[in-house]
Amino acid sequence: MASDDTRRIYLDNAATSFPKPGGVQEAMARYATELGASPGRGAYRESIEGGRIIAECRGRLAGLFGSPSQDHVVFTLNASDALNLAINGIAHRERAGRVAAGSDEPIHFVATAMDHNSVLRPLNALQSDTVGPRVTWTCVEAEQTTGLVDPVALLAASRPETALVVAVHASNVSGTLQPIGEFGAVCRAAGAPMLVDAAQTAGRLPIDCDAMGIDLLAFPGHKHLLGPLGTGGLVICPGMEDRMDPVRTGGTGTVSELDVHPTSMPDRYEPGSHNTIGIAGLYAGLAWIAGRGVDALWAHERVLIERVLDGLGDAERYPGLSLIGPTDPTHRVGVFSFVHERRRPAELAGVLETEFGVLSRAGIHCAPRAHENFGTRDCGGATRLSLGPFNTAEDIDAALDALAEICADASTLAG
């Protein structure tokens, strides 16, 4: 049991990564104290330097994700903002096209039961909108134990009128890693573009949009890209801008003599002043990742994933505790959610913090259909531990020891 001075073990990296590399804070402080200008709004040195930071960050992201054009990497507020841009932008363009053609043919989307509310809520909002051609969407179910989605089922859900297939790369509930390359292949076969929610994978493991058949990639800057909150983006593979309208318009600092929004990339989707101080921090996070290599970081995490799964393999040590999701380490990332037969998720998280200094997140994790898939929606969800690049084997052992002690205490009390 922990004392008041026990070290805090941060295992909530699925929400946001912590700590950040030291260079992130330094880059943001430099921008705030030495530059401070709004890029594109002046011809003086500080404004130009801000523009350089944005351009170089955009270039690093394009290289990281296999985008052939850095101008097709669009900055957003976060991954939710990027997902909304893609989903609503495509719906708007599809509706406008049908109205112009005098057609009332419905617009169809496909998503999965493992998707986050950042996907489910925009789709449901569009479906409830009765103005213009109807929007419908099909939810592809997942396997109940692993959370894996069958690519054949994804193909079967697609129709000639399917405007977009949306899939989460890795679940923020179970850590389930979907076969995105196979999804991309079936989407190409169906003639439907694919939007991938990379909230739990961007910067964590290798992603190549071209090789994996990804047409749109939504990512947060503040999770495994190690930047600050308030950053994120959308990779728009060339040609997709012709199928997706902007959802906001305004000043861009370019072609200001026109009172219509520019169509050039990336200005088409980036109205208003950038969060340049945040992008400066994100650029520093990307530099830290580049210095170590995504492959090496992913290899480090896989070792920790196997350590967790091996530890939990001793079921007698954890009476009453059940792990959600795959037990095969090749099918998951370092996101582990548990349910205990005698402790509610919030209670388990509370004990982990107050008695052992282990920081977790309890609840539904903004993914109600995923919890419904695993049978945990009506019991308060689950307690989640999620790994980051700064976690160590000692952190894992401390968390496993804490869970074992909690389970033993609960078993003794029940007896």
Q: What is the DSSP string of 196-234?
A: EE-TTTTTTS---HHHHT-SEEEEESSSTT---TT-EEE
Give yes or no for residue 99 having a pLDDT over 80. Answer: yes
Tens of pLDDT, residue by residue over 313-334, are 999 999 999 999 999 999 999 9
Assign 4 a pLDDT band (cuts: 50, 70, 90): low
Residue 300: its pLDDT value, please?
A: 98
26 touches 288 (CB < 8 A): no
For 54-93, the pLDDT digits (tens) are 999 999 999 999 999 999 999 999 999 999 999 999 999 9
- Over residues 387-403, mean pLDDT: 98
Joined together, the tokens standing for residue 84 give: 């909304």
Residue type, 398: A
* Cβ 24 vs Cβ 228: under 8 Å: yes
How much of the chain exceeds pLDDT 70, in percent? Answer: 98
Q: Residue 415 has what pLDDT?
A: 47
pLDDT interval class at 359 (50, 70, 90) = very high
How far from chain centre, in Å, is Cα 393?
Answer: 25
What is the length of the chain? Answer: 415
The pLDDT > 90 percentage for the chain reads: 94
Question: Can you read off the two tokens belonging to residue 276?
Answer: 């340049």
- Give the whole-angstrom CA distance, residue 74 versus residue 247: 13
pLDDT digits (tens, 9 = 90+) for 169-216: 999 999 999 999 999 999 999 999 999 999 999 999 999 999 999 999
How far apart are alpha carbons 168 and 149 in whole angstroms? 10
- Average pLDDT over the chain reads 96
Running DSSP on this structure, what letter comes out for residue 313? T
Could you give the domains of the chain?
9-21+293-414 (3.90.1150.10), 22-291 (3.40.640.10)
Task: At 22, list the tokens.
Answer: 């030291």
Give the tokens for residue 328.
Answer: 């095969």
Q: What share of the chain is helix, strand, coil (3-state, %, to 5)?
A: 45, 15, 40
Please give the pLDDT value at position 410: 74
Mean pLDDT across 109-132: 96
Element at 112 (helix H, strand E): strand 107-112
- Which amino acid is present at 360? S
77: which strand partners?
Answer: none
- Alpha carbon of 200 to those of 65, 193, 224, 289, 358: distances in Å? 14, 21, 7, 15, 21
The DSSP 8-state label assigned to residue 14 in this structure reads T
412, pLDDT greater than 80? no
Of 382, 339, 368, give the one whose Cα is nearest residue 113: 368
Q: In the structure encoding, which two tokens stand for residue 192, read together?
A: 């439907």
**The tokens of 110 are what?**
């496909």
Extract the tokens encoding 127.
Answer: 């479906």
Q: How far is residue 156 CA from its own chain's centroid?
A: 25
